[in-house]
């Protein structure tokens, strides 16, 4: 392995970790993407990162796409490479950024799947049969009530919930940003039923609201598995993942309020264009209603 190439990669990872304070997920993703590029450069017998040209990088990106990597993944890899070279440029290790002018293939826009309100009610109104069921219902209610991310839910501590103001403090949202999010009465009720049980099960010094059977903070993967099992148990055939509950929160709220800015704030989106995907879901819903009910939209029988 070229130690000079590897040394620069490690410097970049240290920069992301200690200066940018990037999330563990981001760091692992960037590390993996740059390692792929490093492998390519070694095979091309490049001795330094400065040797990589835009034309060579274009060939590399095309190869990655042809190998079966999806457009979104290619976009992510190119973004990581662009950031890596910006770091090298800043530290005068290279004279130009070969990724600056490259554009990844466009990914087809996919609307997020959502459950309808009746499905959500059936999912959340199912009675608990155990302490773990109580915990799970509290988790799912909080997801749907507040639209928080999976990482935000597993990061919630007991002191973050204010039952009087009916808000939850998200201390470490995406990009390290914090925000206050309202919590609905159903979620507060479910939390109130779970917290006394949690108090008996939690390890000393453990502050997490949602804990595993071992008394420690639940992992995101554990939450995913519990939601899958809960949905199967209650007859929902669709593959439901935690982020779908966030999509349901946003879509159902937008249908009722038509306030895109408010939904943006609640979701913690820094750019409203990210939130606008839910307007497409809303329009899709309206189109279905129109086709079913408008007298001039109904198809004539053959």
Known catalytic residue at 269: yes
Known catalytic residue at 85: no
What CA–CA distance (Å, rounded) separates 186 from 190?
6
Cα 67 to its chain centre, rounded Å, is 25
In this structure, what token pair is assigned to residue 66?
A: 């042809």
In this structure, what token pair is assigned to residue 106?
A: 């466009």
Catalytic residue among 65, 174, 186, 201: 174
Known catalytic residue at 243: yes
User: What's the alpha-carbon Rg for the chain, to the nearest Å?
Assistant: 24
Known catalytic residue at 247: no
∠ CA 212-213-215, rounded to 5°: 70
Catalytic residue among 58, 82, 241, 269: 269
Q: What DSSP element (H or E) covers 140?
A: helix 131-146
Contact (CB, 8 A) for 104 and 75: yes
Distances (CA, A) of 23 to 20, 72, 98, 221: 9, 20, 26, 17
Known catalytic residue at 280: no
Catalytic residue among 149, 198, 226, 252: 149
* Dihedral in degrees, nearest 10, Cα atoms 2, 68, 244, 117: 170
Catalytic residue among 135, 246, 247, 252: 246
In this structure, what token pair is assigned to residue 33?
A: 């993407």
Q: Tokens 């507060």 sit at which residue?
A: 188
Distances (CA, A) of 228 to 209, 212, 239: 20, 16, 7
Burial class (CB in 10 A: 0-12, 13-18, 19+), 152: buried
Q: Is 273 helix (H, G, I), strand (E, B) or coil?
A: helix
- Give the catalytic positions in this structure: 149, 174, 243, 246, 269, 278
């Amino acid at each position: 392995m070229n130690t000079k190439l590897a040394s620069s990669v490690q410097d970049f990872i240290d920069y992301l970790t200690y200066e940018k304070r990037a999330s563990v997920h981001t760091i692992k993703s960037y590390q993996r993407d740059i390692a792929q590029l490093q492998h390519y450069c070694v095979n091309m017998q490049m001795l330094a990162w400065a040797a990589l040209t835009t034309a060579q990088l274009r060939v590399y990106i095309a190869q990655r796409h042809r190998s079966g990597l999806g457009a979104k993944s290619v976009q992510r890899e190119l973004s990581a490479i662009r950031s890596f070279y910006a770091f090298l440029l800043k530290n005068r290790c290279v004279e130009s950024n070969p990724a600056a002018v490259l554009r990844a293939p466009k990914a087809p826009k996919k609307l997020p799947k959502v459950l309808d309100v009746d499905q959500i009610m059936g999912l959340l109104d199912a009675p608990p049969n155990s302490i773990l069921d109580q915990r799970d219902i509290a988790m799912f209610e909080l997801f749907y009530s507040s639209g928080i991310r999976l990482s935000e839910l597993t990061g919630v501590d007991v002191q973050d919930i204010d039952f009087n103001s009916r808000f939850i403090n998200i201390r470490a949202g995406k990009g390290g940003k914090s925000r206050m999010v309202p919590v609905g009465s159903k979620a507060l009720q479910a939390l109130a039923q779970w917290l006394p049980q949690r108090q008996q099960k939690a390890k000393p010094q453990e502050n997490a609201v949602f804990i595993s059977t071992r008394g420690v903070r639940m992992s995101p993967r554990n939450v995913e598995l519990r939601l899958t099992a809960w949905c199967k148990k209650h007859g929902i055939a669709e593959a439901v993942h935690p982020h779908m509950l966030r999509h349901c929160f946003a879509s159902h709220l937008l249908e009722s309020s038509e306030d895109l800015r408010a939904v943006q704030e609640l979701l913690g989106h820094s750019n409203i264009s990210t939130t606008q995907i839910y307007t497409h879901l809303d329009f899709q819903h309206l189109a279905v209603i129109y086709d079913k009910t408008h007298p001039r939209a109904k198809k004539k029988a053959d």
